[in-house]
Structure 1
């Protein structure tokens, strides 16, 4: 599913916020410098192979080697380093404490998301999806529950490692509404390549409506009563939480609002009843190595009932 969000131009060259803009400018500069150096090397190689004897002697001389092989790289690379650090300084400027905060924890192989209040209390949870308002800086508190992961939304900012036992901070801001693909950018074993998420930037009014829908009290029931019973009886509630019900598991993603999420399986499937049924019934064939067992022992009518109830959790 997240592949659909990674069109052309590539996300790293399509900035949607001020912190991604500096990364894009630096990327273009590096591309241009790479092409320039490649052209010089190709020209020197042509001279060495096909050029006149006089030029061959010159490019093999001590002066050319000293300038082209030592002085030029030293000056250019030092200049690029200083300019690059200056250009991307906004990515590491001090946190004021007034920014909206979202805590994201990397897990094998998904993202736990917690929206924090002014005092650091958890307002509500989500998984594999982050929502932010347009035009407002957001600080992501990043950590890991197991191995080193890396949080990256190329359209919105640079990447930052998620390290067990530590909290790293990443500043993000969107200057336009949209849906942007995110990934784990650090190899973390198993189905690492299938560990993604979606970042959604909302205009202010839409953001307020979305926030209200997430913080409103819930009863977690829904019309699909059989599906709710199956969820509690089949072991789902031991690993997953659904607000307003007795399901309080913490091992897997929070499913309180799964019906309104854009994706399933950490960004790899579009979210609808058919994919819900497929994921519950045989998640291991879709994402081999993930920590959710396949429930292929359940009859089709039970899978449909479970999916129908989960679809109502919005």
Structure 2
């Protein structure tokens, strides 16, 4: 086999090895190429059409370049050369790009369509998400944190703001991103259709723990969402075991209630996330850990090692049995 043939064979083999890994990156709960709702599907369509237009331009211009430099290399009169340059280099790209832009802008207004009643207010904190659900006609919100749940088949309005730094909320599989700006409210509406778990992320660099500021987005059947929302509105369950009661006492004695609220108790802090139904959430610490005993103990004792510059102090002076009791209490908050 010639040297060129061997190189081509190696290149083909390498492509076969690399291509599956590249295609595998297109899947998953945080992929804009796997839409779970109407808005993400529209954005994917825009991307594919724009990509197709770019390919057409690339093939046309490079095809002409190859033709005149490799196939027909005869002298071209100046006036014909100018026509080719103006037509292929100016007129054709302008028409194609202009048509793509006009079409793209024509379908974008649906990304700002009003919601169907449910409003979710999300505030970007350092570095976590404060979430409040406002059903139609509600007089007070249902508080949560670091997780956003949607009813499938309807459009939900997200009212977004931030406390200190600019953040950007993005759930790639459900729609586009929207900046969250201190002192200003921005609005994003999403219409998810496919039930399941998706991953959201802050898409605006906001500080030391920006990469650790994620959240779970859960799309539920409407009746399941209504039942879940009713459960979230209820107060926290009472401790049922001695170990849970011991953990609640540690929570009280260590002053955790000054920052965290647990509805139905004397803990009414508003600095940190609401913990009323912590154990019902899919993740801990803004999407980076599991809501299970070992992770809870690790998080409480080593917060600033796990998430740099987070406001919550590390309770590394607690004995392991105290951390375990506290974690057992938090696990009971379903």
The answer for the alignment partner of 1:286 in structure 2 is 306
The answer for the alignment partner of 2:192 in structure 1 is 174
When the two chains are superposed, the root-mean-square deviation of aligned CA atoms in Å is 2.5
The answer for the alignment partner of 1:3 in structure 2 is none
Deviations 1:134-179 (A, max 9, x none): 1122111111111211111122222111111111111112212111
Residue 25 of structure 1 aligns to a residue whose secondary structure is helix
Normalised by the length of structure 1, the TM-score is 0.88
Residue 155 of structure 1 aligns to a residue whose secondary structure is coil
2:257–2:269 contact (8 Å) kept in structure 1: yes
The equivalent position to 1:243 in structure 2, one of 250, 257, 263, is 263
The equivalent position to 2:275 in structure 1, one of 255, 261, 265, is 255
The alignment status of 1:145 with 2:163, answered yes or no, reads yes
Deviations 1:271-301 (A, max 9, x none): 2111111111112222222222222222111
Residue 67 of structure 1 aligns to a residue whose secondary structure is helix
The answer for the alignment partner of 1:266 in structure 2 is 286
Q: Cα offset for 1:204?
A: 2.5
Distance 1:284 1:51 in 2: 65
The alignment status of 1:118 with 2:136, answered yes or no, reads yes
In structure 2, the CA distance between the partners of 1:120 and 1:41, relative to structure 1 (3 Å rule), is farther
Q: What are the equivalent positions in structure 2 for 1:1-314 lying under 5 Å apart?
A: 8=27, 11-40=31-60, 42-43=62-63, 53-54=73-74, 61-93=81-113, 95=114, 98-119=116-137, 121-218=139-236, 220-223=238-241, 224-314=244-334
In structure 2, the CA distance between the partners of 1:226 and 1:76, relative to structure 1 (3 Å rule), is same
1:104–1:113 contact (8 Å) kept in structure 2: yes
In structure 2, the CA distance between the partners of 1:280 and 1:42, relative to structure 1 (3 Å rule), is farther
Q: Cα offset for 1:53?
A: 3.6
Normalised by the length of structure 2, the TM-score is 0.83
Distance 1:294 1:57 in 2: 78
Task: List, as ranges, runs of 4+ consecutive aligned residues in structure 1 with deviation greater than 4 Å.
Answer: 40-52, 55-58
2:245–2:329 contact (8 Å) kept in structure 1: yes
Q: Cα offset for 1:267?
A: 0.8
1:114–1:122 contact (8 Å) kept in structure 2: no
2:53–2:100 contact (8 Å) kept in structure 1: no
Q: Which runs of 5+ in 1 are unaligned?
A: 1-5
Residue 113 of structure 1 aligns to a residue whose secondary structure is strand
In structure 2, the CA distance between the partners of 1:55 and 1:77, relative to structure 1 (3 Å rule), is farther
In structure 2, the CA distance between the partners of 1:53 and 1:286, relative to structure 1 (3 Å rule), is same
Aligned length: 307
In structure 2, the CA distance between the partners of 1:264 and 1:52, relative to structure 1 (3 Å rule), is same
Q: Cα offset for 1:69?
A: 2.7
Q: Which runs of 5+ in 2 are unaligned?
A: 1-24
Q: Cα offset for 1:38?
A: 3.9
Q: Which moved more, 1:33-42 or 1:243-252?
A: 33-42
Distance 1:57 1:263 in 2: 69
Residue 83 of structure 1 aligns to a residue whose secondary structure is helix
Distance 1:310 1:56 in 2: 80
Q: State which structure, 1 or 2, has the greater radius of gyration over its C-alpha atoms.
A: 2
Distance 1:144 1:222 in 2: 37
Q: Cα offset for 1:188?
A: 1.3
1:221–1:245 contact (8 Å) kept in structure 2: no
Residue 240 of structure 1 aligns to a residue whose secondary structure is coil
